[in-house]
Structure 1
């Protein structure tokens, strides 16, 4: 015969009631949180997988924020450059207008005044700030304006050449800024006369018609500048003094002469007939700031005297060079716009990928974690019923004693 003490009966009953109550509490907690797994002990394997999925969701959301930031910065830069392109186009139209030979001095002065306003507008665009107040074209010096007006009234670049990048996915980075030096300052300049030692005379109609011919003339390396030498007898030679001894591109038996248009290695020009002996230095591979181009144009409109042959030639050269420089500046802006478009496409593709990855990860996590309310409520009803029945049975057993059996 097995003897069961009253203490064993009570302990067994209480243990059973605790188990049923724990199951009921667990179901109630699941219904309250909407989750099947609220602590690792509920399902250790599922809990471990949910933890990894939570980390993956956090990683994806971080990259999504970075991608959104990159998109905003690039769109802001793209908008600024679009405004700059339109502004340079207006300045070009004014330059063409200034080249009209019938304009009076007052007309040219009026054009110069509008150019000053457009120049300030361009500086405002180049000093665009993002939502946090950083200057987007200042490189790493975002707390400093990209362009600062100097005491002499000219605009100078104030930032550095840094380019900020942002990681938008594992191993995927995108540049989210471009320094103003590369966009507005280091722009190819028109071939122009940089200096001269002649007493009188000038070079007109100076253009580079064939850049490949110029490269071929120097073995593929275009010199920074060339020297046009005018002799006392009116003969002209073109020299490359970047090497020793200098390369002379034009010699007898077909010497070039003042007053005649000629072309040397793709470079076309006319040396005026009244030019005295001396030299002209021609810039070939120079860079120009679009600000400097506009400033030079304004100064020329206000100061050049068109009543003399040299003054008229200088004015014509100013207009021609300004148009080429403005075209180059506009091309630089458009090329950067195209580059930005490529970056924006990459960001948008990454955003789409991250969105899909996030949805997939959350779906898997939901399958492991989210509660089936219908099933849980059914379980709760059943567990409540079982617990209530167990409590009633335990209460009846607890009232029994040995004398009830006698």
Structure 2
């Protein structure tokens, strides 16, 4: 026989009411928060998985911000380089015009004036700043302008050779900057001939051209020297030597006025006398700013009595065009490299977006409440609670003493 006291009846009823009320409150909380797991005790296994998914989503969102920053920086750099190419192309067009022998002094002065404007524009492009105010072509010295105008009017590189990188996914790092020295300053220069200060007046080298780059590399492996020495001897015979004294003179030896080629470099020595020497720069670097500055100086010198002769001027224009072509090629190569980086960032962004969507979808299934089901449960639980309350109210009025 089981004995039931009045106290047990009351306790059992109250506990049941509390349980039903707790379930009702949980369902109401789920509807108000939109989440079916509001605390670990609601579903310990699901809560642990949700916590890991939250961490994964935050990790992905951090990388997404990095990828967006990388994309913006690379797009800004690509835009700046495109502007630089346009400016250099215009400078090249002006240089071609300047080579026209029928130009008047005023025409050359007009070209010189526009070149000065274009030089300033190019400096502004090279000193482009990002949204945070840092100079994008200064390497790690982002607070310093990449190029600074010197007292003599020349533009000099002012940054370092650092390259900033950013992690856009686990183990995936992309360079988001390029220093201006490699793009604008260290540009392969055209092969030039520098006469010895003691040379006879009017001697010059024309037709300088690199006809075979591989032959030049093969002749001086493993490293191409900075220059060659071309000397004029008795009877106008020409000899060529390398910095270490190696004789590179072609056979038969050329004379003044003859076109000849040595180590893939073609040239002609003109109006030279015994003892004249030229230093042929074959491995030099020159800033694109220096190229334009020299071009301006050359145009201005034509208006002076001490200006270059026509043949020297033509060689000077040809050299300037070659240097401008090299500058354009340097920038175009960097644009190609940038395109590869931008494609990598775009691909990573797509992967991150897919990963974020997948993680959020799983989290939603574990965490988000089904409103239709929750509202139905709420209605049912309310009904059950009301029925339990009514039943308890009736039972609570009974007493075992009424049966005695």
Q: Is the shorter-chain TM-score for this pair beyond 0.5, marking a shared fold?
A: yes
3-state DSSP class of the match of 2:396?
A: helix
Structure 1 residue 195: Cα displacement: 4.4
**Which residue does 1:81 correspond to in 2?**
81
**Which residue does 2:119 correspond to in 1?**
119
**Which residue does 1:70 correspond to in 2?**
70
Structure 1 residue 163: Cα displacement: 0.6
Is the contact between residue 306 and residue 315 of structure 1 (CA under 8 Å) also seen in structure 2? no
2-structure distance, mates of 1:396, 1:95: 107
**Which residue does 2:25 correspond to in 1?**
25
Range with greater deviation from structure 2 (115-124 or 190-199) = 190-199
Structure 1 residue 232: Cα displacement: 4.1
2-structure distance, mates of 1:151, 1:125: 21
Q: RMSD of the alignment, in Å?
A: 1.7
3-state DSSP class of the match of 2:133?
A: coil
**Which residue does 2:200 correspond to in 1?**
199
Alignment of 1:144-293 (within 5 A): 144-197=144-197, 198-200=199-201, 201-219=203-221, 221-241=223-243, 243=244, 246-250=245-249, 254-293=252-291
**Which residue does 2:44 correspond to in 1?**
44
3-state DSSP class of the match of 1:38?
A: coil
Structure 1 residue 306: Cα displacement: 8.5
The alpha-carbon distance between structure 1 residues 195 and 14, as it changes in their structure 2 partners (threshold 3 A), is: farther
Structure 1 residue 143: Cα displacement: 1.1
Which structure 1 residue ranges, 5 or more long, are not aligned?
none
**Which residue does 2:295 correspond to in 1?**
297
Q: Output one character per residue of 1:189-243: Cα deviation in whole Å (capped at 9) or x when no partner.
A: 00002342413211122112222222233345322110011124321101001x2
3-state DSSP class of the match of 1:233?
A: helix
State yes or no: 1:59 paired with 2:59. yes
Q: Output one character per residue of 1:5-41: Cα deviation in whole Å (capped at 9) or x when no partner.
A: 2222222221111111111110110111111111100
1-structure distance, mates of 2:212, 2:344: 37
3-state DSSP class of the match of 2:235?
A: coil
**Which residue does 1:349 correspond to in 2?**
347
2-structure distance, mates of 1:219, 1:362: 59
3-state DSSP class of the match of 2:206?
A: strand
Q: Output one character per residue of 1:138-182: Cα deviation in whole Å (capped at 9) or x when no partner.
A: 111111111111111111111111111111111011111111001
Is the contact between residue 234 and residue 277 of structure 1 (CA under 8 Å) also seen in structure 2? no
Structure 1 residue 103: Cα displacement: 1.1
Is the contact between residue 105 and residue 303 of structure 2 (CA under 8 Å) also seen in structure 1? no
Q: Output one character per residue of 1:282-319: Cα deviation in whole Å (capped at 9) or x when no partner.
A: 11100110000000110111014687896333322221
Structure 1 residue 61: Cα displacement: 1.0
2-structure distance, mates of 1:277, 1:228: 10
Is the contact between residue 202 and residue 310 of structure 1 (CA under 8 Å) also seen in structure 2? no
3-state DSSP class of the match of 1:21?
A: helix
Is the contact between residue 188 and residue 286 of structure 2 (CA under 8 Å) also seen in structure 1? yes
1:388 to 382, 386, 390: 386
Aligned pair count reads 402
